[in-house]
Chain A
């Protein structure tokens, strides 16, 4: 019996040793298979982020039931939020994070919960600000555990910028943030270099937009060091300089309309230009591009197209003839008709036919003599490739609204723009102080300035700046108690705005904008030739002295003019606008928003 027992024990020990062997081989820390896989996929704790004894001990304490524990905590957190036990909610989130420190969605989701869902529950904006900070703090904690997840820094950039700078309470939030020395110190302690140098605003206090930019810079640095992020690189790169633009915009709205604002725009414009030269990988064509590489590609296409045309005139003719054969003769007759004689249906048919009988490069190549066909096909392929490339670049450019911001930064740096803004801002203030005469005087000066700016940068009329000016013109018009005639310096721009908002006059508006743009190009040429002053003067309407009417107090009934009225004004004077019977004016009351790049994950 004892012998049997002994053999059994020996068998057990042998089995244990036998099983431990492979386990040891697999799990050797340095060169075991599991270790190698961990190193290969950067899954080791040390690769993910800092090792935290609190988190480790908490996970150990759950005895392998981390999943159950975190599920219970999630349920509890939901309950606390629903029942508005926000202090406990926040405390529970910390516990969840300790259990799941490398689960990025936890940090993102719950930070959003704190800053965007819990914060608005508070009536006092100061409390709301504190809860936004809690969300920010939560994300920063997340970065501690996740060294290689730039999405957290990316979100931080958005929270600092969008949440503090774009909320309805942005004036209060920005002011609170500027004074929040503890929070700035906290950022510095958490490794945000530059919070007290490069992120300083005009008042020498850290600015929320510039701090947000620092976080984006960190995200970009991590991305460029090889850490993956589920965001398109061109969007990621755009936010830093864009936040500088928003900073400049913010200080202007706060009344800083002097060289400090010009400098802010200059800086933003310079960084935007650098962004344009950033190398971006295009997945479809598997090639690198920059947002400025379309110019070079266009030049290439021009050269190749010329080469192609030179050798393929005859082939093009043949291809066209071939295509014409497939079109009924009565439709071909439309092509010969003068434009003025074409009916509406014929106009449409004309465009369709032109497109039908225009041969593609491949179709032309097919008509080349066999000896030249291969070279023609190759040239055609290169041209198509470059055209696709340009399309991709332009797609990227339009996604970040590159051209608009490039122009905006240039325009906003100009002294005449700053001066116009300052005059308009001061005129608005004069209204608040009930100084109608002073307001009108300042407005009149401002319109002259704006006319110069819009002549030089017509795109600005279409966007946010145009919106601001239209709002002020609305105020001006109410002060005048009358309609504006053609002598008004911004008359044609106003007409454009009115037509732009009218679906039936959309084509007219587009043509008008094109006209503005071509004038702007003439101005640019004139500027480059050193003829700036006369060229601008040519397009400026003369000041009509009759327009300088006696100032009178604004009356409610006068608000129904054919001017676009901003939504904010509408809010400020609901009674007045409701009384308006002018449908046309109401049509024009559509809000015109500037192109912004909002974080889709961070909507309130």
Chain B
């Protein structure tokens, strides 16, 4: 799983240190000014400058003085109830049926022989649910108000003392409630699908003469080997992302349920820096991969990767300090094929006066290498003198310390990113992480509903659908627009691409029409279009960033800070769309 450093930020860090609050405030200010200017220009055309200004000012005043304070929860509830009834009348439960069908035939598309089946199943259910619920929110929210206006049902509402704020809130809450109910159903089914999908039992099929090692039967395209200790307890090797506990009771050896595939590790991350072969700091090496995610250190040199941890608390651990590594190896020569490239881990205090002994390891690529060290009685050096260390007293007295990794093999390299080394605090239950994944989906659904309701306040149903789909598409593919504007994605803008298709011109080549001024004009217009789309895409929600399926699939606890940020973003869009909807509802002639 790839984690970027901004995903580790705490809520406080994001809000204040990384200026999210300031950016939000600026966005509100810009939108307020733009909104006021646009509103004033329209009013100016309709009523003249003085009257126009007065109208706009009156509208703003009414929002803050009348409509917000006097918004009634009872009336919101009534409109929400209507929205729920309307949704049920429109047979939204069909979504559930479609989902059941998708799950029933999932086996057609999912590979049960995958290396990590649990990841595949979790990704499948979360992605499918995400798309379905977004589509549900889209169609529920976009058609409701326009169809009320078209069928003149709106007369029965607006003739009653219902405020525009209540109309917006009622619909958003009503549709969100319907979506939530469906999401709960889908969530429960998905959970069952995943749990039952990975559930399996092995029998023991072979055991060594001394009874110390054995092999299990093949189930779900895999088998395990296991080792038993003197007390008759043991564990299998890791295959398909899980292990089994093996116990011997009497003459019988029992292979227990799988562990490790449905989990929610609680990682504690540090910040990473590198040193080169001369021991001086550098940015880490690139060994030639396109991806810059991991950087590499050279073997048998002073080149090292150093993580700084700032807040590790004893309360997060029991007797041992458990840590996970997902380090990669890059070989410049094949060398010993059987033995993986090795490295060492060293724990040291911030000032370097206390250093643990070296913990050697062999790389386990593309799997989590789980390790632990004792918290007390740790061998090491204090001021270069051998000593028995207490981790939290000697190395990390205030929770701050460093971890250094070096590669042992000459001319071989180890690769790592910030998230490739972390301490594992007590895990959270999988079901709770799964639920948090669904909360993320719920937030995306609410955002879509807010936009759908907003567009439906001034557009007809089909147009509102197209507008909301545009928001969703830009939310998912904003990075593509960014790439074209920055030139990292080839092929040019919309006009250039449209010309290239009939010409069958490859995107990697320069556009050649034999007319330089024409080509320049096309690029200029494309640039203008793309810049406007880029600006728009930055103002709308980034659904890729809001997606958290990877956390659940890869068994990493979804950070509270990250979920809180998503909640805040969702609330921001709720406010934004609410205010825009208010002004449109307020100024629109419902009976027209």
Interface residues of A (CB under 8 A from B): 53-54, 57-58, 82-88, 90-91, 94-95, 98, 121-125, 127, 130, 137, 168-169, 172, 182
B365 near A91 with CB under 8 A, answer: no
| A246–chain B nearest beta-carbon distance, Å | 20
| A431–chain B nearest beta-carbon distance, Å | 20
Binds A, one of B113-121, B185-193, B265-273, B576-584: B113-121
- A84 and chain B: residue at smallest CB distance: B291
Is B363 in the interface zone, CB < 8 Å from A? yes
User: Could you pull out 22 A-B pairs where Cβ atoms are within 8 angstroms?
Assistant: A82-B291, A83-B293, A84-B291, A86-B115, A87-B114, A87-B120, A88-B123, A90-B111, A91-B120, A94-B111, A122-B365, A123-B329, A123-B340, A123-B363, A123-B364, A125-B337, A125-B338, A127-B365, A127-B366, A168-B337, A172-B337, A172-B338
Considering only residues 338-365 of chain B, those with a C-beta below 8 Å from chain A are 338, 340-341, 363-365
- A171 and chain B: residue at smallest CB distance: B337
**Which of chain B's residues have a CB closer than 8 A to the CB of A85?**
2
**Which of chain A's residues have a CB closer than 8 A to the CB of B289?**
82
| B490–chain A nearest beta-carbon distance, Å | 12
Roughly how many angstroms separate A130 CA and B365 CA in the complex, as a whole number?
14
- Given known pairs A54-B108, A94-B109, A127-B365, the reply for A87 and B115 (CB within 8 Å) is yes
Is B218 in the interface zone, CB < 8 Å from A? yes
| B197–chain A nearest beta-carbon distance, Å | 14
B340 near A58 with CB under 8 A, answer: no
Interface string of B113-139 (1 = CB under 8 A from A): 111100110010000000000000000
Q: A122-B366, A172-B338, A182-B221 are in contact. List 19 more A-B contacts (CB 8 A).
A: A58-B109, A82-B289, A82-B290, A83-B293, A84-B291, A84-B328, A86-B115, A87-B114, A87-B115, A87-B116, A87-B119, A87-B120, A91-B120, A94-B111, A123-B329, A123-B340, A127-B366, A169-B337, A182-B218
Roughly how many angstroms separate A91 CA and B337 CA in the complex, as a whole number?
28
| B121–chain A nearest beta-carbon distance, Å | 11
Roughly how many angstroms separate A58 CA and B221 CA in the complex, as a whole number?
25
Considering only residues 290-336 of chain B, those with a C-beta below 8 Å from chain A are 290-291, 293, 328-329, 334
**Which of chain B's residues have a CB closer than 8 A to the CB of A98?**
109
Roughly how many angstroms separate A83 CA and B2 CA in the complex, as a whole number?
9
- A95 and chain B: residue at smallest CB distance: B109
- B218 and chain A: residue at smallest CB distance: A182
**Which of chain A's residues have a CB closer than 8 A to the CB of B293?**
83
Considering only residues 1-33 of chain B, those with a C-beta below 8 Å from chain A are 2
**Which of chain B's residues have a CB closer than 8 A to the CB of A90?**
111, 114-115
Of residues B114, B289, B364, B366, which shows the largest number of chain A Cβ atoms within 10 Å of its Cβ? B366
| B9–chain A nearest beta-carbon distance, Å | 22
| A183–chain B nearest beta-carbon distance, Å | 11
**Which of chain A's residues have a CB closer than 8 A to the CB of B364?**
123-124
| B447–chain A nearest beta-carbon distance, Å | 23
Roughly how many angstroms separate A123 CA and B366 CA in the complex, as a whole number?
9
Interface string of B248-287 (1 = CB under 8 A from A): 0000000000000000000000000000000000000000
**Which of chain A's residues have a CB closer than 8 A to the CB of B116?**
87
- Please give me the 6 A-B residue pairs with the lowest Cβ-Cβ distance, nearest first: A54-B108, A123-B365, A123-B329, A123-B340, A82-B290, A83-B291
Roughly how many angstroms separate A125 CA and B335 CA in the complex, as a whole number?
13
Interface residues of B (CB under 8 A from A): 2, 108-111, 113-116, 119-120, 123, 218, 221, 289-291, 293, 328-329, 334, 337-338, 340-341, 363-366
**Which of chain B's residues have a CB closer than 8 A to the CB of A122?**
365-366
Roughly how many angstroms separate A123 CA and B362 CA in the complex, as a whole number?
10
Which secondary structure dominates where chain A touches chain B?
helix
**Which of chain A's residues have a CB closer than 8 A to the CB of B2?**
83, 85
Of residues A87, A94, A127, which shows the largest number of chain B Cβ atoms within 10 Å of its Cβ? A87
**Which of chain B's residues have a CB closer than 8 A to the CB of A82?**
289-291
Roughly how many angstroms separate A130 CA and B290 CA in the complex, as a whole number?
24
**Which of chain A's residues have a CB closer than 8 A to the CB of B221?**
182
**Which of chain A's residues have a CB closer than 8 A to the CB of B365?**
121-124, 127
Roughly how many angstroms separate A153 CA and B40 CA in the complex, as a whole number?
73
Roughly how many angstroms separate A278 CA and B76 CA in the complex, as a whole number?
86
Roughly how many angstroms separate A58 CA and B341 CA in the complex, as a whole number?
43
- Given known pairs A123-B341, A124-B364, the reply for A91 and B218 (CB within 8 Å) is no
| A318–chain B nearest beta-carbon distance, Å | 63
- A122 and chain B: residue at smallest CB distance: B365
Roughly how many angstroms separate A87 CA and B261 CA in the complex, as a whole number?
15
Roughly how many angstroms separate A226 CA and B337 CA in the complex, as a whole number?
44
A86 near B366 with CB under 8 A, answer: yes
Roughly how many angstroms separate A130 CA and B108 CA in the complex, as a whole number?
22
**Which of chain B's residues have a CB closer than 8 A to the CB of A168?**
334, 337
**Which of chain A's residues have a CB closer than 8 A to the CB of B337?**
125, 168-169, 172
Roughly how many angstroms separate A130 CA and B239 CA in the complex, as a whole number?
12
B366 near A91 with CB under 8 A, answer: no
**Which of chain B's residues have a CB closer than 8 A to the CB of A84?**
291, 328, 366
- A137 and chain B: residue at smallest CB distance: B113
- B116 and chain A: residue at smallest CB distance: A87
| B93–chain A nearest beta-carbon distance, Å | 22
**Which of chain B's residues have a CB closer than 8 A to the CB of A124?**
340, 364-365
Of residues B2, B123, B337, B341, which shows the largest number of chain A Cβ atoms within 10 Å of its Cβ? B337
- B362 and chain A: residue at smallest CB distance: A123
- A88 and chain B: residue at smallest CB distance: B123
**A91 interface neighbour in B114, B340, B341, Cβ under 8 Å:** B114
| A78–chain B nearest beta-carbon distance, Å | 10
Roughly how many angstroms separate A172 CA and B119 CA in the complex, as a whole number?
29
Roughly how many angstroms separate A122 CA and B329 CA in the complex, as a whole number?
8
- B550 and chain A: residue at smallest CB distance: A85
**Which of chain B's residues have a CB closer than 8 A to the CB of A169?**
337
| B120–chain A nearest beta-carbon distance, Å | 6
**Which of chain A's residues have a CB closer than 8 A to the CB of B115?**
86-87, 90, 130
**Which of chain B's residues have a CB closer than 8 A to the CB of A127?**
365-366
Roughly how many angstroms separate A188 CA and B123 CA in the complex, as a whole number?
32
Roughly how many angstroms separate A95 CA and B124 CA in the complex, as a whole number?
13
Roughly how many angstroms separate A121 CA and B294 CA in the complex, as a whole number?
14
Roughly how many angstroms separate A82 CA and B289 CA in the complex, as a whole number?
8
- A182 and chain B: residue at smallest CB distance: B218
**Which of chain A's residues have a CB closer than 8 A to the CB of B329?**
123
**Which of chain A's residues have a CB closer than 8 A to the CB of B340?**
123-124
| A64–chain B nearest beta-carbon distance, Å | 16
| A87–chain B nearest beta-carbon distance, Å | 5
| B125–chain A nearest beta-carbon distance, Å | 14
Roughly how many angstroms separate A85 CA and B114 CA in the complex, as a whole number?
13
Roughly how many angstroms separate A172 CA and B328 CA in the complex, as a whole number?
22
Roughly how many angstroms separate A87 CA and B550 CA in the complex, as a whole number?
13
Roughly how many angstroms separate A82 CA and B291 CA in the complex, as a whole number?
6
- B290 and chain A: residue at smallest CB distance: A82
**Which of chain B's residues have a CB closer than 8 A to the CB of A58?**
109
Roughly how many angstroms separate A169 CA and B338 CA in the complex, as a whole number?
9
Roughly how many angstroms separate A182 CA and B329 CA in the complex, as a whole number?
30
**Which of chain A's residues have a CB closer than 8 A to the CB of B291?**
82-84
Roughly how many angstroms separate A95 CA and B127 CA in the complex, as a whole number?
15
| A604–chain B nearest beta-carbon distance, Å | 12
Roughly how many angstroms separate A125 CA and B364 CA in the complex, as a whole number?
11
| B98–chain A nearest beta-carbon distance, Å | 12
Roughly how many angstroms separate A436 CA and B21 CA in the complex, as a whole number?
79
**Which of chain B's residues have a CB closer than 8 A to the CB of A57?**
108
| B494–chain A nearest beta-carbon distance, Å | 15
| B69–chain A nearest beta-carbon distance, Å | 49
Roughly how many angstroms separate A252 CA and B113 CA in the complex, as a whole number?
35
- B333 and chain A: residue at smallest CB distance: A571
- B340 and chain A: residue at smallest CB distance: A123
**Which of chain B's residues have a CB closer than 8 A to the CB of A83?**
2, 291, 293
| A560–chain B nearest beta-carbon distance, Å | 24
Roughly how many angstroms separate A127 CA and B239 CA in the complex, as a whole number?
11
Roughly how many angstroms separate A337 CA and B292 CA in the complex, as a whole number?
75
Roughly how many angstroms separate A168 CA and B366 CA in the complex, as a whole number?
22
Roughly how many angstroms separate A137 CA and B108 CA in the complex, as a whole number?
16
| B137–chain A nearest beta-carbon distance, Å | 21
- A169 and chain B: residue at smallest CB distance: B337
Roughly how many angstroms separate A83 CA and B115 CA in the complex, as a whole number?
17
